[in-house]
Structure 1
Amino acid sequence: MIRFPLALTFVLASLFAAGCAPAVYVPLKAEDSGTIRNTRVHAAIVQDEVAAAVERSNVAAAGGGGLLLALVDVAVESHRTSRANKLMEPVRKEVGDFDFRAQFGATLQKTALELSALKVTQAATTAKPLVISDPAALWKDVPEDAVLALVTNYELSANFRSLTMVTVAALWTRNQKEPIYRGRYLYHTPPIGAFKELEESSQAWAANNGAALRAAMTQGIAETMKMLTLDLGTAGGTPTASPTPKLSILELSFPAYLAKDGNRYIVRIDGGALTSASSDERFTPDSMPSR
């Protein structure tokens, strides 16, 4: 059983709380893709700026519950949220001109052309919330045979050391009660540094006009598109026979991988989610593979 680090666990828990199921992979069958004549792609990125995860307080759980301890949890989490927002201010200031949604949307439109099995007619990215488990809402004003829904979130970890990006995907066809494909794509950077203080990590992300964070967000979008193509492109994702080195953040090595770019690997973890992780000990813009 794979144990996820705190930052990744928090992201997955947040998605679950928002109504998304835990990491579930339902591969697209050839007989299903063969019936698709055209597909509309809906991508939702609600947040307007990079966020920071906040570690939940578990005083009440550890103390056996009760209203008083629950109030302590609320106070602790409020303090942590306030501190995280304060630390994010200089980071957001440096990357305020980076339009994540627009860059994601532009890259998605190019990637959609590679999803030949889906025959994509249109790929649009919106800031409006999208519930991928609500087919009635997804089919509104859509004449195509199929709808691919994508929901993406991205944030710095609670210790401010890593950037995590999570995309949940579901492919629906008309008159089907369940999606014919489900996927989840996870991207995370190695730590920005071995800093003990949150302020040091925050400063590292903000340094040089936010160069590291800009590079991480750009790479995260590119890796997300690779994972989307591995699952829904014509080539598909066939594991190699070569094991990976120990991947940072996951703190694990894998017996096989689906794609490799420099020291970054795409692997399929327990539950079926695709994950892009690097074996580098530290993340810097210079450590990114040349493209």
Structure 2
Amino acid sequence: MRLRQHCCHPDLLAKTSSDLGAAATPAELRERLIEKLRSVLASGSDEECSVCLESVRLPVITHCAHVYCRPCIAQVISSEQIKANELVEFPQEKMEEEKCANPDKWRTSSKVQALMGNLLRLRCEDSSIKCLVISQFTRFLTILETPLREQGFSFVRLDGSMSQKKRTQVIQEFQSSAANGPSIMLLSLKAGGVGLNLTAASHVFLMDPAWNPATEEQCIDRCHRLGQTRRVVVTKFLVKDSVEETMVKIQKQKQELVDKAFGSTNTDKKTSRIDDIKALMEL
């Protein structure tokens, strides 16, 4: 995940030490574990739980620095060598501090420049064109807000942290044909998966590849569906000679095996994930 984040923007990488320190006191160990958990939450990614293989819900971290969903790890505690008092949660007060903290000085990246170049070109060609900008990393969406404002783009944002009422409001605003309405929606990959009608958009920019190609397709289908009157154009941004190119190869393999995947077991999924990691690291 860290390699994928680096392909998007350097500020997605947490500036924390990986050394937990074997001789640390319990209080120091807890603080270091919280710092590690902070880096996971701050990245804004859909970090996966090793138990359910889904995005982490109610994240906790063990003394061996593994992150799980609290409900998932609670089910296996009785049979594994893990004690409930060894699970560290991210304190709610620290989470509120993170939301209020001032961001570091903004800087650009290759993907940001490539996206802005495309958006500026489209605006010159046809100012009525609306676009979806999709990323797995919600923090990356936050980074993208700065250049969009600087270039005078009107935009809205939709991610998993928003209430249903707010989501409905944002979708209605984006779908509106008003002349001064937003032309861009910043959309998290997870939030854009199902149940949305975004036919006002005809251009889709995928900022980073997903493990599961079907997840990307579901997001694209938000605008490529009944009611669409324009030709839908999809642009994927990939860093050459990086982990992303290998991920695309894995996507193609998964697409070819999609029929078999319906009959696979949970064990098959875990084995497949291990094979994916080996392929990424060229082992």
Q: Tell whether the structures are fold-level matches, with TM greater than 0.5.
A: no
Larger radius of gyration: 2
If each structure's strand is expressed as a fraction of its own residues, which one has the higher value? 1
Q: TM-score, normalised by structure 2?
A: 0.26
The structure with the largest helix share of the pair is: 2
